[in-house]
Amino acid sequence: MGRAREIDTGMEGFRFWPGALSASEQTGLLGAVLAAEASAPFYRPVTPGGRAFSVEMTGLGPLGWVSDRAGYRYQPTHPVTGAPWPPMPDALPDLWRDLTGWPEPPDACLVNRYRDGAKMGLHQDLDERDHGAPVLSVSLGDTAVFRIGAAGGGSTRTVRLASGDVCALTGPARLARHGIDRIIAGSSSLVPGGGRINLTLRRAL
């Protein structure tokens, strides 16, 4: 991780390390995620209003973020199986520590799988207890067109996130509005069956 070079995004608190993970590191991390799928299968959540997400989700770590008609929250068990979430691979808390310097490890890793035109509308990450802690995002597979704008509204801009790229929302950008406009299908062959897997590390508590 020491070779990861951060670039200036022009937005205070929005940090970006393109190519932070080597090809072998991407393969290893993806393998760990797919192995965990056996005990924590991907599922398609719904919003509190009953609308299905276009992305499939699962989680790793002590807590997982879930959405259903009861609302948005973190919980220690998979909403479909009722089993505890699988542990995070060591590479993830190591990456969190090396890139963000945050003294406490992440206690939740949301795993999103984008396929078949899936996207994510603009939103803010508000369900964590401490909004001072960073949110770290790892991209695997097809390139995503990521949209971001200031928390208070106004214009937005897009950044392409390729496989192996890492970005973080910190400081003034911690509550930035952000989302995924689209996935560029076929831009990577990493994920079996195509698509993109995004790992989002957080301090839920």
Burial class (CB in 10 A: 0-12, 13-18, 19+), 116: exposed
Mean pLDDT (whole number) for 120-139: 97
Domain span at residue 76?
14-202
Q: What is the pLDDT of residue 19?
A: 97
- Residue 42 belongs to a domain: yes
Q: Say whether pLDDT at 2 is over 70.
A: no
**In the structure encoding, which two tokens stand for residue 205, read together?**
């508590």
pLDDT, position 29? 97
171 SS3 class: helix
Across the chain, what does the average pLDDT equal?
96
Give, for 110, the enclosing helix (H) or strand (E): strand 108-114
Residue 172, pLDDT > 90, answer yes
CATH code of the domain covering residue 186: 2.60.120.590
pLDDT (0 to 100) of residue 3? 59
Q: 185 phi and psi, to 5 degrees?
A: -60, 140
Residue 137, in any domain of the structure: yes
Question: Which pLDDT tens digit goes with each residue over 42-97?
Answer: 999 999 999 999 999 999 999 999 999 999 999 999 999 999 999 999 999 999 99
Average pLDDT for 36-43: 96
Mean pLDDT of 12-27: 98
Q: Is the pLDDT of residue 41 over 90?
A: yes
Say whether pLDDT at 40 is over 90.
Answer: yes
Rounded CA separation 148/25 (Å): 27
Radius of gyration of the chain (CA): 16
What pLDDT was estimated at residue 4?
A: 80
Closest CA to 26 of 189, 173, 156: 189
Residue 103 resides in a domain? yes
Does residue 9 fall inside a structural domain?
no
Q: Does some domain include residue 3?
A: no
Kindly state the percentage of the chain with pLDDT values over 70.
99
Two tokens at 164? 């192996």
Q: Which residue has the tokens 């299905």?
A: 52
- Mean pLDDT, to the nearest integer, of 108-130? 97
Is residue 75 a part of any domain in this protein?
Answer: yes
101: how many CB neighbours lie within 10 A of its CB? 9
Asked if residue 1 has pLDDT above 70, the reply is no
Count of domains forming the chain = 1
CB atoms within 10 A of CB 140: 24
Burial class (CB in 10 A: 0-12, 13-18, 19+), 80: middle
Identify whether 179 is part of a domain. Answer: yes
Q: Is residue 65 part of a domain?
A: yes
